[in-house]
């Protein structure tokens, strides 16, 4: 079993739909990252969370440390949101390496 599991692996939705991508992890962490990988391969850091909730535009990320679970939500989805979304966790005690989930491939159809 991977330390970081994402669901679903693939998600196709219509423009305007509310999107939820889930991430569960099995180790103690100091922070969780959500990343976006564009079809061309480039990676952008969307959020870094250690507790609670963060919002940026149409994107919302939440984390529940007790349940070892995080969600990434996209409101009013748009075809330009089509990408692979990756969850990554950083361990405790000053750990610098990230452990990544397999990614969720999101396709938003017009």
Partner 1 sequence: NAGVMQNPRHLVRRRGQEARLRCSPMKGHSHVYWYRQLPEEGLKFMVYLQKENIIDESGMPKERFSAEFPKEGPSILRIQQVVRGDSAAYFCASSELPMGTNEKLFFGSGTQLSVL
The nearest distance, CB 76 to partner 1, in angstroms, is 25
CB under 8 A, 24+ apart: contacts of 39-46: 39/82, 39/83, 43/86, 46/72, 46/85
Q: Are strands 52-56 and 59-64 parallel, antiparallel or unpaired?
A: antiparallel
Token pair 């349940």 in the structure block, residue: 67
- Is the Cα torsion angle 22, 25, 30, 36 positive or negative in sign? negative
The nearest distance, CB 81 to partner 1, in angstroms, is 18
The nearest distance, CB 29 to partner 1, in angstroms, is 11
C-beta of 19 vs 88, nearer to partner 1: 88
C-beta of 56 vs 80, nearer to partner 1: 56
H-type helices in 2-96, by residue range?
Answer: none
C-beta of 19 vs 49, nearer to partner 1: 49
**Residue ranges in contact with partner 1 by CB under 8 A:** 30-31, 33, 35, 40-45, 48, 50, 86, 88, 90, 94, 96-103
């Amino acid at each position: 079993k991977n330390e970081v599991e994402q669901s679903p692996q693939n998600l196709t939705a219509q423009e305007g739909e509310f999107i939820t991508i889930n991430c569960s992890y099995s180790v103690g962490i100091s922070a969780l990252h959500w990343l976006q990988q564009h079809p061309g391969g480039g990676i952008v850091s969307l959020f870094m969370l250690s507790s609670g909730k963060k919002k940026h535009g149409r994107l919302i990320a939440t984390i529940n440390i007790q349940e070892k679970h995080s969600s990434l939500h996209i409101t009013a989805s748009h075809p330009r949101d089509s990408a692979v979304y990756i969850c990554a966790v950083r361990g405790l005690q000053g750990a610098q390496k990230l452990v990544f989930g397999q990614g969720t491939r999101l396709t938003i159809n017009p």
